[in-house]
């Protein structure tokens, strides 16, 4: 992805809108956390201004959607990222789930995967997360993070706000707004509101956390980590002219008019200058920015993880509970371990509720959507 592709990049071309890609580790120091418990406001609300940006290393893979499993065995809880993240259905946990799900209804094997409401044990805890790259513009709770480029697990409510602007319905006749652009995107005023303090149910304070997001009306450029402008005065003048011209495109509700205006803008000398500036900007941001895909995408499990997962699977297929079974009989290892295979289209097989590309859903008793 070069400067000629970024300028005028259509945000609807993100892989997230085309049912593609990817994934995260259990812990990463580059992950941005917005914990209300760390708020310095009297009302306990965590406030910050951030800018969600494209992945400068691969624009189309700027929104990373992870599928993982939370598993429990005799040694405790552990999480593994599934190859389902890259549309590879050879994930051994997914295969094991299918064996249970399609077993005779009411049988012991069927109960391993069935929900508690249906009388099952719900041992397959499948999870979903949506990750993006951000720059922290202002955070009085953690001022040391201001200016830093980080990765963030984005809550559904924030994604809905961004998605509505970047991928509007055809019926709305609205233009796709490049919210995540480095130089003429938008900033987000974020408020993370803790749930109620309930002595009888203390978990509600975290479980019922709310995320409020408001996009800036004006365009906002990324800055250097020290807060200084990323462009000099002459470069800023070029950007200002481009934004002034493109504003008519973004406000137009006539697709043909938008196309005509865009072609005219793309052909003028000012836009050619901006393309040259963008080449430098992208390379500069890469110096400070973590690579979303390289850091958080699915990777083949190491041997220890493969062995632990296989033991968990074999115990489940033997109709035992891995959390309590220590020396219980296990099933023959018929599922096998996962390998990094070339991604293939997902098989049309029923599976635990998985969100589509632009939606997310979470169980009422889960806090997996929390970005901290």
Residue 318 phi, psi dihedral angles, 5° rounding = -90, 10
Q: In the predicted model, what is the mean pLDDT of the chain? A: 85
pLDDT band for position 5 (cuts 50, 70, 90)? low
- pLDDT at residue 352 above 60? no
Q: What is the pLDDT of residue 11?
A: 76
Distance CA 235, CA 243 (A): 12
253: left (phi over 0), alpha (psi -120 to 50) or beta: alpha
Residue 289 phi, psi dihedral angles, 5° rounding = -100, 130
Residues 243-268 have a mean pLDDT of 96
Distance CA 69, CA 126 (A): 5
Pairing label, strands 76-81, 125-138: unpaired
Whether residue 357 contacts residue 17, with contact meaning beta carbons closer than 8 Å, is answered with yes
- For 24-37, give one letter per residue: b (16+ CB within 10 A) or e: beeeeebbbbbbbe
Q: What is the pLDDT of residue 363?
A: 29
Q: What is the pLDDT of residue 329?
A: 54
Single pTM value for the model: 0.76
Residues 241-257 have a mean pLDDT of 96
Residues 264-288 have a mean pLDDT of 95
Residues 116-126 have a mean pLDDT of 96
- Neighbouring CB atoms inside 10 A of 80's CB total 21
Distance CA 323, CA 315 (A): 10
What are the residue ranges spanned by the domains of the chain?
A: 13-65+128-229+291-296
Highest averaged pLDDT of the listed ranges 28-32, 43-47, 321-325: 43-47
pLDDT tens column, 149-192: 999 999 999 999 999 999 999 999 999 999 999 999 999 999 99
Pick from 16-30, 77-91, 180-194, 268-282: least confident: 16-30
Q: What is the pLDDT of residue 43?
A: 94
Residues 301-308 have a mean pLDDT of 96
Q: What is the pLDDT of residue 28?
A: 73
Whether residue 312 contacts residue 73, with contact meaning beta carbons closer than 8 Å, is answered with yes
pLDDT above 90 covers a percentage of the chain that reads 72
pLDDT above 70 covers a percentage of the chain that reads 82
Whether residue 36 contacts residue 193, with contact meaning beta carbons closer than 8 Å, is answered with yes
318's tokens: 């033997």
- pLDDT at residue 269 above 90? yes
- pLDDT at residue 365 above 80? no
- Please return the burial class of 148, using the count of CB atoms within 10 Å of its CB with bins 0-12, 13-18 and 19+: middle
Pick from 107-116, 202-211, 225-234, 306-315: least confident: 202-211
pLDDT band for position 10 (cuts 50, 70, 90)? confident
- pLDDT at residue 16 above 90? no
pLDDT tens column, 195-208: 998 888 888 888 89
- Residue among 185, 192, 187 nearest 250 (CA): 185
- pLDDT at residue 353 above 70? no
């Amino acid at each position: 992805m070069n400067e000629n592709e970024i300028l005028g990049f259509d945000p609807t071309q993100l892989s997230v809108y085309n049912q593609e890609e990817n994934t995260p580790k259990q812990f990463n120091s580059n992950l941005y956390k917005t914990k209300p418990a760390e708020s310095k406001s009297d009302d306990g609300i965590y406030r910050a201004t951030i800018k969600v940006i494209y992945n400068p290393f691969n624009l189309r893979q700027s929104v990373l959607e992870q599928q993982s499993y939370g598993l429990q065995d005799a040694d405790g809880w552990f999480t593994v990222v599934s190859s389902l993240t890259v549309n590879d259905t050879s994930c051994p946990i997914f295969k094991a789930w299918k064996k249970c799900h399609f077993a005779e209804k009411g049988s012991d094997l069927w109960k391993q995967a069935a929900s508690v409401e249906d009388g099952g044990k719900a041992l397959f805890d499948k999870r979903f997360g949506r990750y993006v790259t951000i720059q922290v513009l202002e955070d009085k709770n953690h001022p040391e993070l201001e200016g830093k480029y980080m990765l963030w697990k984005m809550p559904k409510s924030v994604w809905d706000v961004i998605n509505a602007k970047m991928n509007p319905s055809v019926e709305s006749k609205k233009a796709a707004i490049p919210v995540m652009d480095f130089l003429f995107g938008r900033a987000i005023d974020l408020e993370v509101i803790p749930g109620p303090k309930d002595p009888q149910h203390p978990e509600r304070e975290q479980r019922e956390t709310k995320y409020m997001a408001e996009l800036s009306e004006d365009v906002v450029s990324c800055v250097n980590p020290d807060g200084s402008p990323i462009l000099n005065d002459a470069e800023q003048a070029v950007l200002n002219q481009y934004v002034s011209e493109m504003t008519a495109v973004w406000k137009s509700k006539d697709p043909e008019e938008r196309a005509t205006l865009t072609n005219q803008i793309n052909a003028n000398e000012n836009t050619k200058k901006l393309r040259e500036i963008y080449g430098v900007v992208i390379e500069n941001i890469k110096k400070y920015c973590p690579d979303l895909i390289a850091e958080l995408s699915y990777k083949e499990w190491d041997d220890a993880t493969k062995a632990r997962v296989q033991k968990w699977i074999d115990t489940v297929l033997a109709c035992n509970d891995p959390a309590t079974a220590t020396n219980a009989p296990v099933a023959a290892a018929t599922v096998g371990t996962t390998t990094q295979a070339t991604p293939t289209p997902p098989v049309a097989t029923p599976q635990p509720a998985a969100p589509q590309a632009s939606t997310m859903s979470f169980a009422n008793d889960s806090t997996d959507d929390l970005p901290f």
